[in-house]
Structure 1
Amino acid sequence: MSEKNRDGKRTARERLAVEREKQKAAEKRRRTLIVGASVVCVLGLAAVIGVVAANVGKDKNKSSGPVVAPSGAQGKDGLAIAVGKDSAKPTLTIWEDFRCPACQAFETVYRPTLHALTDSGKLRIEYHLVRLIDGNLGGTGSLRAGNAAACAQNAGKFRDYHDVLYENQPKETVDTFANNAKLIDLSGKVGGLDTAAFRKCVNDGKHDSWVDKSNAAFKAGRFSGTPTVLLDGKNIFQDQTLTPAKLKQMVLAANKG
């Protein structure tokens, strides 16, 4: 074999090796993005905006006044808003923040399955509202939206309004939900919710301290971030293989047990 041919083959092998390394790097980035899309909000924010978080005054992000739970609130200290029949065997506990993009992603993917399971009496969901993004980025959008959702619970419209908030979630860096008028405007998308009682509840911040108490309970639970999703107490959202179909199987299995 001539030296020229040997050099040509060596060059080809080197190009192939380089190409394989590029493919491996691309695949690694793809996996990272997939996992990153499911990472809870607080983890993604901590490293990027630590300085901002450190400068946010605690008093500005803490509401005052008596703790008033919304109608029908359940669980310890009345901090859970339940959706579904109480007779359902398994309970899914969801800690969420209406400003959290990862929470919106979870809702978008899993909502049809969750609706079907709760409507059929197979699953009961306990929603806990927190305000992590307010603490990380500043503002009051998480608090205001949480209060408005609690006001919707008083009217028996929590689930529908809950879904509307996620469907209209602004960028987490834009504190659109801090505007009560915007939250009231969005209530018009839920039949029968935009009433004088709902408007007063939103504008008065009737459940602000309740949202803060829920947020304190989240921190005391030492959860890693939002959304935190527990099925009968077991954290299932950490499972990277979790899908709506797998969640459904788990719920149906729990009903048989």
Structure 2
Amino acid sequence: MSEKNQDRSRAARDRLAQQREQDRARERRRRTLIVSTAVVGVLALAAVIGVIAANAGKGDKDKEAGPAVTPSGAMGEDGLALQVGADDAPSTLTIWEDFRCPVCAQFENAFRDTITELADSGQLKVEYHLATIIDGNLGGSGSLRAANAAACAQDVGKFAPYHDVLYRNQPAETDDAFGDNGKLIDLAGKVDGLDTPAFRSCVEDGTHDSWVEKSNKAFAEGGFEGTPTALLNGDPIFPKKGDEQISEANIKKWVAEANKGKKPGTVGATPSSS
């Protein structure tokens, strides 16, 4: 091959390499735009929910409905936390949620796999707290009914998978479908071993209604801006931690930083759902 042809071949290869790099750069920008758009959407919705939550529960804040029946294995102050993960995990993620809250579903569906991975590996224990702010603002009883059903699932060690089923099957915020106990029982069929006579009775009887109302009162008095509220060792991480926006990578980084020099937990591990 002549020197001139060799130069042409090198030039062609160089152009091809440049084109491939440009294609890769465009793809990276496209992915970044998709992720950024999703985050902006979540934050916009979070702001709306935060405004709604600011006035949540004021009408029935002092409502009392008989003795609270605490779900089996509930943890924390006043037994209001439903824990997933090892008791001795070095870090704690506290999450306040409402099963009718659309941003809560977005939070769960976006970060479920990451939180599950960290909990299952002993890096993190998750303490879920339940609120009913959507019932208070839009009417209906879906927040309360779903929270009671989740507490009934907790009684038989099925909270985590049932919690995930509820969020994967969440109706529109204005649709009070979760106010129907039959719907909640039907969804229990998606969790192996949960749909039993005892579970059905617990759901139908509202066994944990007063406990849910007690939890919602704690939320209303806690000064939180809205749901979801997520705290890593007491430090807010949703929608951001300091100047850093929440993401799967940042959650892992924040937990790693908090756990530096500490051993993973192993005691009393509660498996999360897949």
Match of 2:82 in 1: 81
Q: What secondary structure does 1:193 align onto?
A: coil
Q: What secondary structure does 2:245 align onto?
A: coil
Could you tell me the percent identity over the aligned residues?
59
- 1:203 counterpart letter in structure 2: E
Write the distance in 1 (CA, Å) between the matches of 2:176 and 2:187.
Answer: 15
Match of 2:222 in 1: 221
Match of 1:247 in 2: 251
TM value normalised by structure 1: 0.80
Write the distance in 1 (CA, Å) between the matches of 2:228 and 2:252.
Answer: 18
- 1:131 counterpart letter in structure 2: T
Of Structure 1 and Structure 2, the greater helix share is in 1
Match of 1:117 in 2: 118
Alignment partner of 1:128 is 2:129: yes
Deviation at 1:63, TM superposition (A): 6.5
1:49-102 deviation per Cα after TM superposition (whole angstroms, max 9, x unaligned): x8xx89x9749x956221011000000000000000011000000000000000
Q: Map of 1:86-165 to 2, 5 A cutoff?
A: 86-165=87-166
Write the distance in 1 (CA, Å) between the matches of 2:113 and 2:40.
Answer: 26
Alignment partner of 1:35 is 2:39: no
Write the distance in 2 (CA, Å) between the matches of 1:112 and 1:77.
Answer: 29
Match of 2:24 in 1: none
Equivalent residues, number: 221
Deviation at 1:238, TM superposition (A): 3.6
Gapped regions of structure 1 (runs ≥ 5): 1-29
Moved more, 235-244 or 67-76: 235-244
Match of 2:268 in 1: none
CA RMSD of aligned residues (A): 2.4
> Residues 114, 33 of structure 1: CA spacing in aligned structure 2 closer, same or farther, 3 A cutoff?
closer
> Residues 218, 58 of structure 1: CA spacing in aligned structure 2 closer, same or farther, 3 A cutoff?
closer
Contact 1:39 1:102 in 2 (8 A): no
TM value normalised by structure 2: 0.75
Which structure has more relative contact order (CA 8 Å, sep 6+)? It is: 2
- 1:77 counterpart letter in structure 2: D
